[in-house]
Amino acid sequence: MQAIFKTGGKQYKAAVGDKLNVEKIGSEVGSSVCFDQVLMVLDDGEISLGDPLVEGAAVDAKVIEQFRGKKVEIVKFKRRKHYKRRAGHRQSLTRIEILNVRSN
């Protein structure tokens, strides 16, 4: 069984046993979380699409770790003007393991 769910403004495809990196969730390591904004469920070739969400569907997961992603460098530059600015950003992420995909 697979599902597409939404969290942190992004959509993720998940099946049981998958490990995903999602936007930071305010849960502690080892705790379980439930994502109830499920957009689609695929079960043995049968597709359930939501309008916009699938009623009664949820994805259960366990928080494995909290970490920060790779640095993204931002550079502003204007030629011949002696202007150059550099900055960086590291996004906070949460690694989760999918435990169960529930459907109606």
Report pLDDT for 39. Answer: 97
Stretch 15-24: mean pLDDT = 97
pLDDT digits (tens, 9 = 90+) for 66-94: 999 999 999 999 999 999 999 999 999 99
CA–CA separation, 61 and 56 (whole Å): 16
Q: What is the pLDDT of residue 104?
A: 77
Instruction: Decide: 73 and 86 in contact? Cβ < 8 Å.
Output: yes
Mean pLDDT, range 31-55, rounded to an integer: 95
Question: What is the 8-class DSSP label of residue 52?
Answer: S
Residue type, 81: K
Radius of gyration of the chain (CA): 19
HSE (CB half, 13 Å, CA atoms) of 72? Answer: 6
